[in-house]
Amino acid sequence: MKVSELMTLLDAKCVTEGANLDAEISCGYSCDLLSWVLAHGKQGMAWCTVQTHVNVIAVSVLMEMACVILVEGVEAEEASLNKAIEEGMPVLSTTKTAYEVCGIMNKAGIAVPVE
């Protein structure tokens, strides 16, 4: 599934201009501990978090994720948005909870990350 298709399913908007919404999603995840995400993150991952600071973007870029999903309407810090735009990382925003987003991703057949 592409990021753009997931956006439709989640009724989410992309808050980073010019990001690659054609990126293919390999798996879904939800976690707010960045070190934990570094240990378990995967290429092509769609990652739900309520963390909004710039290190979220650094982690997603290092892991070559497909997108970051900010849940429950949390707003990214400006530094995060600038960094995400610079790196071409799609940041999606939704009012849904991480629980709901994961439920939708799971139902849509997006895989669990494989170690």
Partner 1 sequence: MANNLFVDSYDVASGAFQTAGDASASIKRKLKQLGIDAVTLRRVAVASYEAELNLIIHSNGGNLIMEMSPEEVLLISKDVGPGIPDISKALEEGYSTASEEARDLGFGAGMGLPNMKRNADTFDIESQVGEGTTIKMGFTIKR
| Shorter beta-carbon distance to partner 1: residue 8 or 35 | 35
Report if residue 13 touches partner 1, rule: CB under 8 A.
no
How would you class 68 by CB atoms within 10 Å of its CB: exposed for 0-12, middle for 13-18, buried for 19 or more? buried
Put residue 25 in one of left, alpha, beta given phi > 0 → left and psi -120 to 50 → alpha. Answer: beta
Q: What is the dihedral of CA 5, 78, 60, 84, to 10 degrees?
A: 70
Report if residue 59 touches partner 1, rule: CB under 8 A.
yes
What is the contact mask toward partner 1 in residues 71 to 100, using x (rule: CB under 8 A)? --------x---------------------
| Residues that bind partner 1 in the complex, under the rule CB under 8 A | 32-36, 38-39, 43, 49, 51, 53-56, 58-59, 61-64, 79
